């Protein structure tokens, strides 16, 4: 059995690692945190409460990442619609100027011809349908006027679509703000709870994190081959990130949340994946049994599909697990998260 080893990671304490995530959250979300009381430490252990807050923060992070991806898509769509409307408006202006010149000539010669009356009609389509009028208009006049009406409608349609997308974009950005506040509040409360512990208790938590990192360095991955070249390439990229810190909303290359790691790794393999774990759960071929997974397959965790990592072989997952932790290998059985299914890309 082959044993995977990696360079010794930087020392990572459960509390001190929060300088990357929760410490910033304390500064940014103090008001939010103070308005929402901390869980009662007497009801259950502080570490259990902290772990729960971290789980809730990672769940909210996936929703934040989904909203962020949606906002980026909407922004591009708005830009395309606005650019198209602007180009159509330029063509419409040129046509209007040409028709306006004809109207001016006709007015100077004694009045507006039927073609210009058509342009000013409240119902140009019905007016143009009149057979008697069609007989009086030249072929080019009819063509220009029809083109004018079509372009007018197209410009209005593009502007209406852009306005609708802009409204959706504003709503999505507001959702981003709400999720950001929620995440920062939970991380701030977790840090406040950690601050209530004695030095001995904090040292014990630090030791547990150090043990998890040492176990990762000694992880026995077996010698199973990947089921696809794309999965193998993505897994190789992810392995190069072992030891990098978890940061909510981050997608590499120096820090990651869970779906940020998997989407970044597949991007290195030339594959575009959706940004969230929920969307990645349906991105490829579903593998329902743990025994059928191969290294490089995605592994979907939690009943709400809010966690994702790579199956690493021999019952191990390679993932970015939670705030305060590093990208690492862990036993799936000991991860504390229920397995839902795998995904082969």
Token pair in block for residue 22: 């929760």
- Active-site hit among 4, 202, 241, 307: 307
Q: Is 319 a catalytic residue?
A: yes
Q: Pairing state of beta strands 316-319 and 339-344?
A: unpaired
Q: Is 4 a catalytic residue?
A: no
What residues contact residue 307 under an 8 Å CB cut-off, 6+ apart? 58, 258, 277, 300, 301, 319, 321, 337
Contact yes or no for 276/65 (Cβ under 8 A): yes
Residues 68, 26: Cα–Cα separation, whole Å: 22
- Active-site hit among 188, 193, 258, 269: 258
Contact yes or no for 94/143 (Cβ under 8 A): no
Burial class (CB in 10 A: 0-12, 13-18, 19+), 198: exposed
The count of C-alpha atoms lying within 13 angstroms of the C-alpha of 40, restricted to the half-sphere facing its C-beta, is: 2
- Active-site hit among 180, 202, 319, 322: 319
Contact yes or no for 248/58 (Cβ under 8 A): yes
62, 143, 238, 317, 319 from 285: Cα distances, Å: 21, 53, 20, 18, 20
**Residues belonging to the active site:** 258, 307, 319
């Amino acid at each position: 059995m082959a044993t995977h080893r990696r360079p010794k990671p930087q020392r990572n304490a459960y509390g001190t690692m929060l300088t990357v995530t929760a410490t910033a959250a304390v500064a940014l979300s103090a008001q939010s945190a103070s308005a929402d009381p901390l869980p009662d430490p007497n009801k259950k252990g502080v570490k259990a409460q902290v772990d729960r807050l971290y789980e809730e923060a990672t769940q909210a992070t996936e929703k934040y990442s989904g909203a962020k991806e949606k906002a980026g898509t909407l922004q591009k769509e708005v830009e395309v619609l606005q650019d198209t409307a602007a180009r159509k408006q330029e063509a419409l202006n040129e046509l209007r100027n040409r028709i306006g010149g004809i109207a001016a000539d006709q007015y100077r010669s004694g009045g507006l011809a039927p073609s210009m009356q058509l342009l000013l009609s409240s119902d140009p389509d019905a007016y143009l349908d009149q057979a008697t009028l069609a007989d009086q208009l030249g072929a080019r006049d009819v063509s220009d006027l029809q083109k004018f009406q079509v372009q007018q409608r197209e410009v209005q349609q593009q502007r209406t679509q852009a306005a609708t997308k802009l409204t959706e974009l504003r709503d999505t950005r507001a959702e981003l703000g709400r999720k950001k506040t929620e995440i920062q509040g939970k991380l701030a409360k977790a840090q406040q709870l950690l601050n209530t512990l004695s030095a001995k208790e904090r040292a014990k938590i630090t030791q547990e994190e150090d043990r998890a990192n040492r176990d990762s360095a000694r992880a026995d991955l077996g010698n199973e081959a990947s089921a696809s070249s794309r999965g193998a390439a993505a897994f190789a990229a992810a392995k190069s990130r072992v030891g990098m810190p978890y940061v909510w909303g981050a997608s590499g290359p120096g820090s990651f949340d869970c779906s940020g790691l998997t989407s970044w790794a597949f991007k290195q393999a030339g594959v575009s994946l959706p940004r969230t774990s929920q969307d990645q759960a349906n991105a490829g071929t579903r593998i329902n049994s743990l025994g059928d997974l191969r290294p490089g397959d995605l592994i979907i965790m939690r009943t709400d599909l809010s966690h994702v990592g790579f199956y690493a072989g021999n019952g191990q997952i390679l993932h970015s697990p939670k705030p305060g932790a590093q990208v690492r290998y862990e036993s799936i059985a000991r991860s504390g998260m229920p397995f839902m299914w795998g995904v082969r890309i």
